[in-house]
Structure 1
Amino acid sequence: MDTEKCSGILRVIEAGSLSAAAEQLGYTPSGMSRMVDSVENEAGFPLLKRSRGGVTPTGDCLRLLPLLQELARNGERYAQLTAEIRGLETGSVTVGTAYPVCYRWLAGLVAAFGQCHPGIEIQILEGTSTRLAAALTAHRADFCIISRREGDFQWLPLRSDPMVAWVPRNSVWAKMDVFPVASFASAPYIATYPGEDIDATRMFTRLGLTPHQCFSSTDSYATCSMVGADLGVSVNNALVRGAWTSQIRILPLNPPQSVEIGIAVSPENEISPAAKKFYEFVKKELRGDGELPFRESF
């Protein structure tokens, strides 16, 4: 099986369209279609279902998906390693972060890394810590700044980050020095990413507490605006803050709750040469005490 064709099939599935995948990979639509036909002929059965709405993987393709991902990943590692042996640098690194406040720091790292390693492309991926941990496991990401999650990856702790309450500025809660965690069970609660495995959900599960959810959003800025409009209270990581949080009051929790934030990367025996170079570069940029440099960015 040609590993380039494996990558092509995976890109089609991800894009949901032959033409979109062709544009991303630099193929013509007809060339992309011929590649898919070639893989399907080799497999002996259809891998994609085509419709006016796009393409989706068949059931048989889903069974093969982990193997296709593994073949594509090994093909990329082979290309990077052989290029390295020839004295060249190539490849790509997908860097994920669960915290938008890290973008400024990451942008500086990517710029500095690019000067030293111009042949390596860096892609930025955003998502929750659990989603990014899953992306690492599925080899769709190489390096992620997340709160600690279960998984088979290398872990470099960066900081302990407290969970904090977001309350309306003109509310009775704003007069408090700390926010009692138990009050989430009665106060109108605004959930961010409801039903998802995020730090707030894990905190409530660990404490055996069910918040009195009245509203929800899928964006921290939206949640902050709802709190600012006196619709209720919420909880978030202390790292999630910016000029837009000035419309609310942020309180520490009682009892205190915190999460460990760090860098997760692929296991030593699976990390690609390009990703390993980026990881080693980042570790050199970090201070000896393990804290994030340029802390004012946070």
Structure 2
Amino acid sequence: MRSSNPVFSRRGFSRDNGHAGFNAAPQAGAAATGANPYAQGTAANPYATNPYATNPYAQQGQPGAPAPARTDAMTIDDVVTRTAMTLGLVVVAAAAAWWIMPVDQANLGTAYGVAIGAAIIGFVLSLVNSFKRRPSPPLILLYAAFEGVFLGIVSNIVSVYVAPGAAMQAVLGTMAVFAGVLIAYRTGLIRVTRRFYGFVMAAAIGFMLLMMVNMLFAVFGGGDGLGFRSGTLGIIFGIVAIVIGACILALNFKQVEDGIAYGAPREEAWLAAFGLTVTLVWIYIEMLRLVAILQGDD
């Protein structure tokens, strides 16, 4: 079962992957599922009834036969450390771009050009990182740097011309969403099941299609497209986008948790950090847009 976040939809973070490098036993006494990657889990597998029931790191062999534990398995500390490094670089790059790149009327065109260039490079790097067979820390950090430049310039422009203080409000909103989803996930208020996964995937695909249609109308029809970026419809659209991002964040937590439980290699912590960064950047951008709409309507 794959996540709508492209980073988490491959290698060790998907149930339908049998990458040879991940053949390790589940930690904490979980049982291996054998050679069939779609086989139902045994009674020892607490995830037997959800989309993440199988062990992508199981050693091939007899069902239920334990394999030697990995000595280089990913831990929660690894994920937290790499995520802090990646997000920290996003923040540093954003702050630097905010202070270095002027956004006054004389330099506004240049600022937009730099922001668009950084966004394009960041997008290309995100694709490269998503499809590489092994995580590349330098490329992941490079993505974070360019994404930070884009966010810093755009946030500054919005704060100066549209909604003063919008960037800080968007940061606080993103932090609140992250904390809320994490608490809800850890306390069991959010349970990642097949039905939950299907709902999130359908919503995410529908949202992306609407964005594409709106972009086409804006490009060829002029104006604001279908009106998803302003007014009441824009507010509703922004809230839906943030809710979808929060749901994807819950999927990310579940897949990272399963990767740790099943002994994913330590290098996969970089992949986890990259995926979480992509999701949080998504939430921040939608939060910034929502704040701008709300303040712009005042």
Greater fraction helix: 2
Give the TM-score, by structure 2 length.
0.23
